[in-house]
Structure 1
Amino acid sequence: MARMPSAERRRQLVEAAVLVMARDGVARTTTRSICAEAGVSLSVFHYCFDSKQALLEAAIGSITGNYVARVMSAVEPRATLRETVRGALGTYWDHVKAHPAEHMLTYELTQYALREEGFEHLARAQYEQYVASAAVLVEQVCVLREVTPKVPVELLARVLAATIDGLTLQYLVLGDERAAADLLDMTADHLVALIEG
């Protein structure tokens, strides 16, 4: 096994954990199965993470961080506010359609954390991170478009996080792409109306 910095090892283990949990489910995922996927020994896992809780928290952070980075990289410099918002939603949505198991995993992580004694704080942290990430996106879009939102950014972020959460779950359950596209259009219109006042 090649030596690598602990931060790189942690990233490797988090990526393996996301793959294994998306494939096998959170409850059936073990540190051994994560280590096998990553190609490392159990001692490496314990060197990088204090507990399964710490790994789950890192996995939630990684998933959310990847969504934010993907969405922000797709923002077009010369687009209107409406085009920017709809484009950002569309970029997120393309990932939902291409990787539904990863998105199902986020709901499973929430349920697991709420049901597993001592893990409840992870569900709260997960949703706080969703809102914080949505706030970053709203702020960056407003800065790029030189717009001062008429509604507080935190409220816009909560609306965005709650809407995306519901739309994603509805799509995962029903699989209705046409309804999802219509709802994304409506969400973009609603967000723009809230921002512009």
Structure 2
Amino acid sequence: MARVPAEERRLQFVEAAARVIAQDGLASATTRRIASEADAPLAALHYCFRSKDELLEEVYNFLSRDYAKALDPVADPGLGLRHMVGAHARRIWSRMLENPHEQVTTFELLLRRFRVEADDQPQALLMNRSMYDGWVSSTLELFRGAAEAAGEPVPANLEDITRLFISGIDGISMQHLADPDEERSKRLVELMARSLSGALDYA
């Protein structure tokens, strides 16, 4: 059997953990279950990660800090900020439809702080904050870069627009997962992007 490089194996375990959490819930995501989902020995998981908490931290990173790496490239990225807001919303939504378990896992992880003991809640809150910081910083950088590349001024309220963008994606995702309707969700994504583009403050 060919040896799997350590970084590739780590990613396999992270992706498997995301699927297991979505399918069975966080409480059922044991290291044994995750190793089985990854079709890898349990010993390999413990070699890659010192603990389940370390593995969960990487799942948080995979779904926030590293999420943009999995998205399709934006066509015509030099067309300015308004174009980028719509294009980014559409490519995120395409990814959500292809991999809905990632969004389910995200919600499970964000709710974790309400399901742990009181002593563990500060760490869980820190993880949630880290996840949102990853989304906000990467999206803000993308939007600011689109404006600057097109020679546009950077709106004064760009961070607030970015946070509303992320909240909108989360909300539409929640509604879609609860009551799937692709046409309705597509309309909502487009409306959200247009509304946020119209709210950019250049004063």
Tell me the TM-score normalised to structure 2 length: 0.81
Following the alignment from structure 2 to structure 1, what is the Cα–Cα distance between the partners of residues 30 and 198?
46
Q: Distance in 2 between matches of 1:190 and 1:99?
A: 26
| Partners of 2:78 and 2:144 in 1: CA distance | 17
CA-to-aligned-CA distance 1:53-77 (integer Å, 9 cap, x gap): 2111211211235542344612324
Letter of the structure 1 residue corresponding to residue 36 of structure 2 = A
Name the CA distance, whole Å, in 2 between partners of 1:194 and 1:72. 26
Paired residues, number:
197
Q: Kindly indicate whether the alpha-carbon contact (under 8 Å) linking 1:149 and 1:195 is maintained by their aligned counterparts in 2.
A: no
- 1:170 CA displacement: 1.9
The partner residue of 1:135 within 134, 140, 144 is 140
2:47 is aligned with 1:47: yes
- Which deviates the most, 53-62 or 77-86? 77-86
Aligned to 2:107: 107
Q: Structure 1 residue 152: deviation in Å?
A: 4.1
Alignment partners' CA distance in 2, 1:50 and 1:77: 40
Query: Does 1:62 find its partner at 2:67?
Result: no
Structure 1 unaligned segments of length 5 or more: list them: none
For residue 14 of structure 1, report the CA deviation from its aligned partner. Answer: 0.9
Which of 144, 149, 159 matches 2:154?
A: 149
Cα-Cα RMSD: 2.5
Compute the TM-score of the two structures, normalised by the length of structure 1: 0.83
**Contact 1:25 1:108 (8 Å CA) reproduced:** yes
Question: What is aligned with 2:188?
Answer: 183
Amino acid at match of 1:128: D
- The equivalent of 1:30 in structure 2 is 30
The answer as to whether partners of 2:78 and 2:146 remain within 8 angstroms in 1 is no
Task: Tell me the secondary structure at the aligned position of residue 73 of structure 1.
Answer: coil
Q: Do the aligned partners of residues 5 and 164 (structure 1) sit closer, same or farther apart at CA in structure 2, a change above 3 Å counting?
A: same
Structure 2 segments unaligned to the other structure (5+ residues):
none
